[in-house]
Amino acid sequence: MENRTKATFMEKAGYGFGDMASSMFWKIFSYYLPFFYSNVFGLSLAHAGTLLLITKLYDAVSDPVMGMIADRTVTRWGKYRPYLLWCAVPFAICGVLTFTTPDAGYGFKLAYAYVTYILMMTAYTAVNVPYGAMLGVLTPDSREKTVFSSFRMFFAYGGSFIALAVFEPLQKFFRDMGGEVTAADSWQYSMAVVGIICAVLFVLCFAMTRERVNTASPVSGDSSILKDFKSLVTNGPWWILLGAAIGILLFNSIRGGAAAYYFKDVIGGGAIFTCGIYLAAGEVANMAGVALAVPLADRFGKKTSYIMSLLVASALSIFILFLPVTPAGMWTLMCLQILISVATGVTLPLLWSMFADIADYSEYRNGSASTGLIFSSSSMAQKFGGAFGSALILWALAGFGYDTSEAAVQTSAAVGGLKAMMSWIPALGAFAAAIVVAFYPLTTGKMAEISSALAKRRKNS
């Protein structure tokens, strides 16, 4: 049965707290983990790149499994919401362990990095896949899902801003304490602070939300699992959004992950502001983009708004290639970062809302929503994009001859590679995503038809 009571502002804000927590970790891992592994933890570029690829591919494959587990979970709190409570503390602990540098030989450290990062990604999957699927059961209304998704992304970018703005100052704070605190310790302690904040936010999200829609659930048994996968792989709109999600995540992860190297070795002493300020400014601009998502979708539709935003982000990124290392060049870089981030901020709430529409489309066509499985596919795409993006950064740096030593002077090939990874290479990912979404068939009119049919079907169930 379906509870039609309208969701309150506090419930929408509570839902946002969940992705605020996830995004604080995700952005730190995306933007700082490659640098941490290569320049602090002490792994070679090749080993660090392979590590990030293998562990995130494992994590991506585990997402559908978690989606099916969540779809079959039955508690008094609902299917998906309980995982926010159960996984909050393990999520925080695994994050701290990942940014811990053991005092051991290289072989042990490499094995430790694999084990802790796999544990971290398992914890991330266990909480984030059910959290994403919640969007499909918070409301039956397609437009309201976009509103919930906008709250989600607004708070997500807010969390990212907080994490990126405080992460470097936290490290400096702990280093300045003196005594036995090393640079590696400062990374660990900083993650402990962030982890505590994230655990509290997950618990608040659990306490402030409710599952309002009882979607048609799959029954137990292997035949049901096979049916779920068959429905998924024959779902054309799902494939389209899967490709688009990978493209946009490649765009974000390459630009973000290359930034620390770009500021250190391209801008260097000419920096007017730090990499942390640059990245944090992007998160604020992302929030502005999120605020534009609903009015743009109302005016042009989700599909058209998504494509326009991707094309703008792709075109503006290319200009970074030509910026000089001067004060004017630095301020132009910041202006481009803000404009690009506004454009990408529009895309993510629309993407999550379209995945919720796909869950409704699946229930309309097949009689079973498989909401967790469908949303896990979006998380899987996110991790595929992030995995290849992070690995490509490190492999490309190795190919360009990047020197990880602290006082190294980089070759012109390495500097050119860093400029490419901040400009035209990620732009290709955004452009490819825009081309793919052009074929997305679930228009505003089609979703109105589907929502009406499902409302009648659920009422009679």
More confident residue, 223 or 341: 341
Rounded to an integer, the average pLDDT of 196-203 is 96
User: What φ, ψ does residue 176 adopt, rounded to 5°?
Assistant: -70, -10
What angle, rounded to 10 degrees, do the helices at 327-366 and 371-399 form? 150
Angle at 319 between CA 278 and CA 276, to 5 degrees: 10
pLDDT tier at 216 (50, 70, 90 boundaries)? low
pLDDT of residue 223: 46
Strand partners, 213: 2
pLDDT, tens digit, 9 for 90 and up, residues 119-149 = 998 999 899 889 988 888 888 777 888 889 8
Distances (CA, A) of 382 to 53, 56, 239, 280: 13, 10, 14, 21
Contact 369, 136 (CB under 8 A): yes
In whole angstroms, give the CA distance from residue 442 to residue 448.
Answer: 10
For the ranges 41-50, 133-142, 230-239, 266-275, the one whose mean pLDDT is highest:
41-50
pLDDT of residue 385: 66
Mean pLDDT, the chain, rounded, equals 86
Q: In what helix (H) or strand (E) does residue 412 lie, and over which residues does it extend?
A: helix 412-421
In whole angstroms, give the CA distance from residue 98 to residue 101.
Answer: 8
Q: How many residues does the chain have?
A: 461
Rounded to an integer, the average pLDDT of 293-297 is 91
pLDDT, tens digit, 9 for 90 and up, residues 303-322 = 999 999 999 999 999 999 99
In whole angstroms, give the CA distance from residue 160 to residue 101.
Answer: 24
pLDDT of residue 30: 78
Strand partners, 2: 213
More confident residue, 331 or 409: 331
pLDDT, tens digit, 9 for 90 and up, residues 282-292 = 888 988 998 89
Percent above pLDDT 90 for the chain:
39
In whole angstroms, give the CA distance from residue 317 to residue 343.
Answer: 11
User: What is the full DSSP assignment across 212-280?
Assistant: -B-PPPPPSSHHHHHHHHHHHHT-HHHHHHHHHHHHHHHHHHHHHHHHHHHIIIIIGGG-SS-HHHHHH
pLDDT tops 70 at residue 359: yes
In whole angstroms, give the CA distance from residue 256 to residue 336.
Answer: 14
pLDDT of residue 217: 54
Percent above pLDDT 70 for the chain:
92
Residue whose structure tokens are 């290849």: 388
Contact 93, 153 (CB under 8 A): no
Q: Which fold has domain 9-460?
A: Growth Hormone; Chain: A; (1.20.1250)
pLDDT of residue 132: 86
pLDDT tops 90 at residue 329: yes
Alpha carbons within 13 angstroms on the beta-carbon side of residue 120 total 27
Rounded to an integer, the average pLDDT of 80-94 is 95
pLDDT of residue 82: 95
pLDDT of residue 250: 82
Which tokens go with 419?
């400029």
Contact 249, 381 (CB under 8 A): yes
pLDDT of residue 245: 83
Contact 182, 102 (CB under 8 A): no
Q: Residue 152 in 3-state DSSP? A: helix
Q: Which long-range contacts (CB under 8 A, 24 or more apart) does 302-307 make?
A: 302/146, 302/350, 302/353, 302/354, 302/357, 302/444, 303/354, 303/437, 303/440, 303/442, 303/443, 305/346, 305/350, 306/244, 306/346, 306/347, 306/350, 306/351, 306/354, 306/434, 306/437, 307/434, 307/437, 307/438
What is the number of other CB atoms lying within 10 angstroms of the CB of residue 255?
31
pLDDT, tens digit, 9 for 90 and up, residues 10-25 = 999 999 999 999 999 8
Q: How far is it between the farthest Cα atoms of the chain?
A: 70
Which tokens go with 71?
């779809």
pLDDT of residue 363: 82
Distances (CA, A) of 49 to 24, 28, 205, 249, 415: 22, 17, 34, 17, 19
Q: Residue 103 in 3-state DSSP? A: coil
More confident residue, 368 or 271: 271
pLDDT tops 80 at residue 448: yes
pLDDT tier at 222 (50, 70, 90 boundaries)? very low
Q: Residue 2 in 3-state DSSP? A: strand
More confident residue, 125 or 459: 125
Of 277, 283, 12, residue with least CA distance to 157: 283
pLDDT of residue 224: 67
Domain layout of the chain by residue ranges: 9-460
pLDDT tops 70 at residue 168: yes
Q: Residue 80 in 3-state DSSP? A: coil
